[in-house]
């Protein structure tokens, strides 16, 4: 299968960024899951939400790249 002209390949650096983004989402959820049963603490709530949100934001770029690459003729 040919790739689209001008579309950069998905290299090892991109794979590394994708893995770290997924781990950020997982760590954010773990922070929230472990901290909420002991009571709502602002710092733990903020860190969990920031990690999960930033990881999801980074993954949106990966999804857009894969979607754009998949629809190219």
- 46 occurs within a structural domain: yes
- 50 occurs within a structural domain: yes
pLDDT above 70 (res 5):
no
pLDDT above 60 (res 25):
yes
- 59 occurs within a structural domain: yes
- 56 occurs within a structural domain: yes
Residue 53 CA to residue 29 CA, distance in Å, equals 10
Q: How many CB atoms lie within 10 A of CB 26?
A: 13
Q: How confident is residue 4, by pLDDT bands cut at 50, 70 and 90? A: low
Q: How confident is residue 18, by pLDDT bands cut at 50, 70 and 90? A: very high
Q: Domain range holding 30? A: 14-68
Span 40-66, pLDDT tens digits: 899 999 999 999 999 999 999 988 888
pTM of the model as a whole = 0.76
Residue 48 CA to residue 19 CA, distance in Å, equals 18
């Amino acid at each position: 299968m040919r790739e689209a002209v001008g579309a950069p390949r998905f290299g090892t650096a991109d794979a590394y960024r994708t893995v770290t983004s997924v781990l950020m989402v997982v760590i954010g959820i773990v922070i929230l899951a472990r901290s909420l049963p002991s009571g709502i603490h602002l710092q733990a709530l903020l860190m969990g939400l920031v990690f999960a949100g930033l990881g999801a934001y980074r993954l949106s770029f990966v999804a857009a790249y894969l979607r754009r690459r998949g629809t190219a003729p």
